[in-house]
């Protein structure tokens, strides 16, 4: 019986210990946020390895985001001093990519297949639509993209999609054409990665059984957010299906929290949990009920909030940590003020309270909200890092450079061809390209190959582009990745193009950065002779650190990313070939998530959407933009299921915080080009009053977040000031605490307000019609009221 008193097991509570040291067999851990699910999963891997029950090659661990995979790998390397190279750990997409690379022939893909990201996919669809004269209004590319993805996520190829009406028939026809085009060009989109590797396993029993025997342990984090196809994929890896049951020698550990299911809109199914219990006849179910992450007030807020949902499996969470500080709620007049307040709070947190910047997270519901926050942080000189915004590899100049590189690898890649055939300009116009596309369509070949079919001057220009690439390919053969990129940037004319552009400086720097990224990537992925067998500590933190100090220019790319999110097959199982550094780098670029505005390794505040924050934790968390229509999102307001999903999202956001939680909202906000006045989010009302504290703004009037106060906007700022006045008062009005208003109201006296009840006057400002009092109402927090308008009566 394997040891139970190893140092790596210390500190686990009895339920966690039981889960970590479970005997063979499937298990489900269903438990709330911060209860140690990920810790159990990671520690179990460490325990299996340490006790010799498994080797790294016998383990597959799936996480939801690259960042989470990275987090897990970091935790694991802290526990175990051995090389984890053979272990398959990553996201579903990353692991599927790895499988397809290793068996590309069986999967019907070229060895150099490229991955289409969402943008590439859209342009591929647009091209297709054009080629087949499809009505653009009736079939917008985005919607087609969603349609194709949802078919794939249901495991449906065009022939399997039920189509009864002409509209559906057309869409299915387009789906088929899209698939043909992708196949011809040797590209796969994200959903295809999954479906293709699912089919690979399904249709090749020998291969499937090989992996079933190899992966004795399958571990899945954030199981509540797996979709149907991901679950089917797992089942194939876990064992053979017999009479509705999965039979095999592997042990699946699924870990999740139904209250944190936030991807239903993308097809995730909480129902997978019930299916898992039944189909795997799961013998072990474990609950974890103690939260180790958050202070009591934060946890109480999370618990109270999620109680408002009806569709729950029901769990309890308690903490031993004590109540801690109250959750702070702040109301700002505008989104700009919100950002300004936030910057001041962050400065106070880091300067006065000793918080590290990387332990502070700003969470928002929609990506668009980050811009204002970013510019404020930037102006204040606070380093920050945005996850999931415009990522490095999505920037136009980087995509151009990558397109050239992709064409070197795979000349059939029409998306890349079209991206750069006339960039920098080579006098190849839209007309010529149309002709080219027609020729290619008729001949059933790639655009590159079709360049020989076009006549006249246009044909000559196209062929010289073809020749340019051939020459490039020859020039870089056998060269290092850095040299290859340097050559391509020069020979393609990209560098000269941006050099000539007055505003091209930043883009040039980004292109330089691409070379640095490539170099670090090569270093870390161990493509050189000497890098293969480094012990883990040197490869992980060590090599990343070394790369940084040795190459001062290596900035702006998260160096730990490629190492930690291992996507690369060691060798191709069928042919014995290894992926070339360029191929590997292109894969990395297509799957890379996470971009650093701050320099790599620099202590920076973290910005991300709530979706992206799942599984992570921070000492201090700000959730901004808590307004009706924004969070909960307007699309969800009319539908109960949608609203419950928004509430789970809020639950995820709240439970990221360890010690401090700030919630803020603004009375008015510029978003999508217009100013809107939104009510405070209903989620604020769902928090227990004893756990929260309403902050008075710094120098601004402050309202309660309750809805009554918000109604002031619709009635024309009844007894509150208008925005302009408040701005003025903050800047100009001298604070005269001693003054007393004609009505007899003075600092310190107790007053009554019809809506807010009794409160104590904290201060009075201004005189005559301009006079206003700051009153602290026990149930509504402190508010500034215009004495000329607000009906206040003195109680004592």
Is residue 324 within the footprint of ligand ATP (CB under 6 A)? no
Is 38 known to sit in a ligand binding site?
A: yes
Backbone angles phi, psi at 654, to 5 degrees: -60, -40
Give the alpha-carbon dihedral of 361, 366, 372, 373, to 10 degrees.
0
User: Three-class SS of residue 268?
Assistant: strand
The answer to whether the beta carbons of residues 315 and 287 sit under 8 Å apart is yes
Stretch that binds ligand ATP, among 10-18, 108-116, 577-585, 733-741 (CB under 6 A): 10-18
| DSSP-derived secondary structure letter, 579 | P
Task: Give catalytic status of residue 199 as yes or no.
Answer: no
Task: Give catalytic status of residue 358 as yes or no.
Answer: no
Q: Cβ of residue 75: shortest distance to ligand ATP, in angstroms?
A: 8
What residue spans of 355-480 are helical by DSSP H? Answer: 370-379, 396-409, 414-420, 430-443, 447-450, 456-476
The single residue of 406, 566, 656, 783 carrying the catalytic annotation is 656
Query: Which residues ranging from 94 to 153 are in contact with Mg ion (CB under 5 A)?
Result: none
What residue spans of 421-455 are helical by DSSP H? Answer: 430-443, 447-450
Give the alpha-carbon dihedral of 443, 446, 450, 451, to 10 degrees.
170
Is residue 250 within the footprint of ligand ATP (CB under 6 A)? no
293 binds, among ligand ATP, Mg ion, none (CB under 5 to 8 A by kind): ligand ATP
Is residue 659 within the footprint of ligand ATP (CB under 6 A)? no
Stretch that binds ligand ATP, among 7-15, 245-253, 633-641, 752-760 (CB under 6 A): 7-15
Query: Which residues ranging from 509 to 548 are in contact with Mg ion (CB under 5 A)?
Result: none
Q: Cβ of residue 26: shortest distance to Mg ion, in angstroms?
A: 19
The C-alpha atoms of residue 311 and residue 40 are separated, in whole angstroms, by 26
The answer to whether the beta carbons of residues 774 and 762 sit under 8 Å apart is yes
Is residue 42 within the footprint of Mg ion (CB under 5 A)? no
The residue assigned the tokens 């400002």 is: 765
Residues paired with 218 in a beta bridge: 60, 252
Is residue 44 within the footprint of ligand ATP (CB under 6 A)? no
What residue spans of 80-204 are helical by DSSP H? Answer: 92-102, 118-131, 141-153, 166-185, 190-203
User: Three-class SS of residue 114?
Assistant: strand
**CB-based burial, 762-773: b 16+ in 10 Å, e otherwise:** bbbbbeeeebbb
Is residue 12 within the footprint of ligand ATP (CB under 6 A)? yes
Task: Give catalytic status of residue 279 as yes or no.
Answer: no
- Selected from 617, 628, 646, 719, the binder of ligand ATP by CB under 6 A is 617
The residue assigned the tokens 């100049």 is: 397
The C-alpha atoms of residue 252 and residue 268 are separated, in whole angstroms, by 19
Is residue 239 within the footprint of Mg ion (CB under 5 A)? no
Is residue 39 within the footprint of ligand ATP (CB under 6 A)? yes
Q: What is the DSSP string of 295-342?
A: -HHHHHHHHHHHTT-SS------B-SS---SPEEEEEEEEHHHHHHHH
Is residue 615 within the footprint of Mg ion (CB under 5 A)? yes
617 binds, among ligand ATP, Mg ion, none (CB under 5 to 8 A by kind): ligand ATP
The answer to whether the beta carbons of residues 523 and 557 sit under 8 Å apart is no
In terms of Cβ atoms closer than 10 Å to its own Cβ (0-12, 13-18, 19+), residue 136 is exposed
Is residue 65 within the footprint of Mg ion (CB under 5 A)? no
The single residue of 185, 189, 221, 331 carrying the catalytic annotation is 221
Backbone angles phi, psi at 243, to 5 degrees: 55, 50
The single residue of 16, 21, 38, 606 carrying the catalytic annotation is 38
Is 35 known to sit in a ligand binding site?
A: yes
Compare residues 42 and 415 and give the one whose CB is closer to ligand ATP: 42
Is 31 known to sit in a ligand binding site?
A: yes
The answer to whether the beta carbons of residues 597 and 385 sit under 8 Å apart is yes
Is residue 36 within the footprint of Mg ion (CB under 5 A)? no
Pairing verdict, β 750-753 and 284-288 = unpaired
Is residue 256 within the footprint of Mg ion (CB under 5 A)? no
User: What is the SS3 string spanning 214-265?
Assistant: HCCEEEECCHHHCEHHHHHHHHHHHCEEECCEEECCCEEEEEECHHHCCCHH
Provide the sign of the torsion angle of the four alpha carbons 361, 336, 695, 299, taken in this order. negative
Task: Give catalytic status of residue 222 as yes or no.
Answer: yes
Q: Cβ of residue 78: shortest distance to Mg ion, in angstroms?
A: 16
Pairing verdict, β 792-794 and 750-753 = antiparallel
- Tokens standing for 719? 């007894």
Query: Which residues ranging from 256 to 295 are in contact with ligand ATP (CB under 6 A)?
Result: 257, 260, 292-293
103 binds, among ligand ATP, Mg ion, none (CB under 5 to 8 A by kind): none
Stretch that binds ligand ATP, among 37-45, 372-380, 595-603, 661-669 (CB under 6 A): 37-45
13 binds, among ligand ATP, Mg ion, none (CB under 5 to 8 A by kind): ligand ATP
Is 427 known to sit in a ligand binding site?
A: no
Is residue 609 within the footprint of Mg ion (CB under 5 A)? no
- Selected from 94, 333, 526, 615, the binder of ligand ATP by CB under 6 A is 615
| DSSP-derived secondary structure letter, 627 | B
- Selected from 19, 27, 30, 38, the binder of ligand ATP by CB under 6 A is 38
Is 171 known to sit in a ligand binding site?
A: no
Is 32 known to sit in a ligand binding site?
A: yes
Is residue 16 within the footprint of ligand ATP (CB under 6 A)? yes
The C-alpha atoms of residue 280 and residue 254 are separated, in whole angstroms, by 11
- Selected from 38, 250, 495, 704, the binder of Mg ion by CB under 5 A is 38
11 binds, among ligand ATP, Mg ion, none (CB under 5 to 8 A by kind): ligand ATP
The single residue of 16, 21, 37, 338 carrying the catalytic annotation is 37
The single residue of 112, 260, 435, 720 carrying the catalytic annotation is 260
In terms of Cβ atoms closer than 10 Å to its own Cβ (0-12, 13-18, 19+), residue 512 is middle
Is 37 known to sit in a ligand binding site?
A: yes
Stretch that binds ligand ATP, among 5-13, 229-237, 414-422, 631-639 (CB under 6 A): 5-13
Is residue 330 within the footprint of ligand ATP (CB under 6 A)? no
Stretch that binds ligand ATP, among 27-35, 184-192, 310-318, 754-762 (CB under 6 A): 27-35
Is residue 660 within the footprint of ligand ATP (CB under 6 A)? no
Compare residues 260 and 774 and give the one whose CB is closer to ligand ATP: 260
- Selected from 22, 27, 30, 33, the binder of ligand ATP by CB under 6 A is 33
Is residue 35 within the footprint of ligand ATP (CB under 6 A)? yes
Is 226 known to sit in a ligand binding site?
A: no
Q: What is the DSSP string of 719-785?
A: SS--HHHHHHHHHTPPB-TT-B-TTS-BTT-EEEETTTEEEEEEEEES-GGG-EEEEEETTTEEEEE
Q: Cβ of residue 536: shortest distance to Mg ion, in angstroms?
A: 22
Compare residues 37 and 171 and give the one whose CB is closer to ligand ATP: 37
Contacts with ligand ATP, residue ranges (CB under 6 A): 11-13, 16, 31, 33-39, 257, 260, 292-293, 615, 617, 655
Contacts with Mg ion, residue ranges (CB under 5 A): 37-38, 615
Active site (catalytic) residues: 37-38, 221-222, 260, 656
Annotated binding-site positions: 31-38
Annotated binding-site positions for ATP: 31-38
């Amino acid at each position: 019986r394997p040891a139970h008193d190893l140092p790596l097991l210390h500190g686990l509570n009895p339920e966690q210990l039981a889960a970590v040291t479970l005997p063979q067999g499937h298990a489900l851990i269903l438990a709330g946020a911060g209860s140690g699910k990920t810790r159990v999963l990671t520690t179990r891997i460490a325990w299996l390895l340490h006790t010799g029950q498994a080797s790294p090659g016998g383990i597959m661990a799936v996480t939801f985001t690259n960042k989470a995979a990275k987090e897990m790998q970091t935790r694991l390397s802290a526990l175990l001093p051995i090389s984890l190279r053979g272990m398959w750990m990553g996201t579903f997409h990353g692991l599927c990519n790895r499988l397809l690379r290793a068996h590309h022939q069986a999967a019907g893909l070229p060895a150099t297949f490229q991955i289409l990201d969402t943008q590439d996919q859209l342009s591929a669809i647009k091209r297709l639509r054009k080629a087949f004269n499809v009505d653009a209004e009736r079939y917008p590319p985005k919607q087609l993209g969603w349609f194709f993805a949802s078919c794939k996520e249901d495991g449906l190829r065009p022939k399997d999609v039920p189509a009864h009406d002409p509209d559906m028939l057309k869409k299915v026809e387009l789906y088929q054409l899209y698939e043909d085009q992708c196949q011809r060009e040797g590209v796969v989109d994200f959903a295809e990665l999954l479906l293709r590797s699912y089919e690979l396993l399904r249709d090749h029993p020998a291969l499937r059984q090989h992996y079933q025997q190899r992966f004795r342990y399958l571990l899945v984090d954030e199981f509540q957010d797996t979709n149907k196809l991901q679950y089917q994929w797992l089942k194939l890896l876990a064992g053979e299906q017999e009479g509705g049951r999965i039979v095999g020698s592997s042990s699946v550990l699924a870990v999740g929290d139904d209250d944190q299911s936030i991807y239903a809109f993308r097809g995730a199914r909480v129902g997978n949990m019930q299916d898992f219990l039944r189909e795997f006849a799961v013998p072990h179910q474990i609950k974890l009920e103690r939260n180790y992450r958050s202070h009591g007030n934060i946890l109480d807020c999370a618990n109270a909030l999620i109680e408002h949902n009806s569709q729950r499996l029901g769990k309890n969470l308690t903490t031993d940590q004590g109540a801690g500080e109250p959750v702070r709620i702040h109301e700002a007049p505008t989104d700009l003020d919100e950002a300004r307040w936030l910057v001041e709070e962050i400065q106070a947190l880091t300067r006065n309270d000793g918080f590290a910047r990387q332990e502070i997270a700003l969470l928002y519901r929609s990506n668009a909200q980050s811009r204002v926050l970013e510019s404020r942080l930037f102006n204040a000189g606070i380093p920050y890092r945005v996850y999931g915004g415009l990522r490095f590899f999505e920037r136009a100049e980087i995509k151009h450079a990558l397109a050239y590189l992709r064409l070197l690898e795979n000349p059939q890649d029409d998306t890349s061809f079209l991206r750069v055939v006339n960039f920098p300009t080579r006098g190849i116009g839209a007309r010529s390209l149309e002709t080219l596309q027609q020729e290619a369509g008729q001949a059933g070949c790639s655009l590159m190959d079709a360049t020989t079919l076009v006549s006249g001057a246009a044909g000559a220009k196209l062929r010289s582009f073809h020749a340019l690439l051939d020459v490039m390919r020859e020039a870089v053969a056998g060269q290092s990745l850095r040299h290859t990129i340097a050559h391509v940037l020069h020979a393609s004319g990209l560098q000269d193009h941006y050099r000539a552009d007055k505003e091209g400086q930043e883009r040039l720097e980004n292109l330089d950065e691409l070379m640095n990224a490539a170099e670090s990537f090569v270093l870390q992925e161990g493509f050189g002779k000497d890098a293969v067998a480094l012990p883990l500590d040197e490869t992980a933190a060590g090599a990343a650190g070394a790369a940084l100090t040795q190459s001062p220019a290596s900035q702006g790319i998260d160096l730990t990313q490629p190492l930690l999110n291992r996507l690369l097959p060691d060798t191709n199982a069928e042919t014995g070939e290894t992926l070339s550094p360029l191929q590997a780098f292109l894969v990395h670029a297509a799957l890379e998530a996470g971009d650093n505005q701050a320099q790599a390794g620099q202590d920076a505040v973290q910005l991300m959407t709530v979706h992206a924050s799942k599984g992570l934790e921070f000492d201090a968390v700000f959730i901004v933009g808590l307004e009706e229509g924004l969070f909960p999102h307007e699309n969800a307001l009319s539908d109960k299921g949608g609203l419950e999903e928004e509430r789970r999202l809020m639950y995820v956001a709240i439970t990221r915080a360890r010690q401090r939680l700030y919630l803020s909202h603004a009375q008015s906000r510029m978003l999508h080009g217009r100013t809107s006045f939104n009510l405070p989010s209903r989620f604020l009302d769902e928090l227990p009053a004893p756990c929260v504290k309403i902050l008075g703004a710094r120098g601004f009037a402050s309202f309660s977040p309750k809805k009554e106060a918000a109604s002031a906007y619709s009635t024309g700022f009844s007894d509150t000031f208008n925005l302009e006045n408040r701005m003025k008062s903050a800047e100009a009005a001298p604070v005269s605490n001693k003054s007393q208003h004609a009505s007899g109201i003075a600092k310190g006296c107790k007053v009554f307000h019809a809506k807010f009840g009794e409160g104590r006057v904290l201060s009075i400002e201004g005189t005559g019609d301009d006079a206003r009092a700051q009153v602290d109402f026990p149930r509504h927090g402190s508010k500034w009221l215009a004495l000329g308008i607000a009906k206040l009566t003195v109680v004592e």
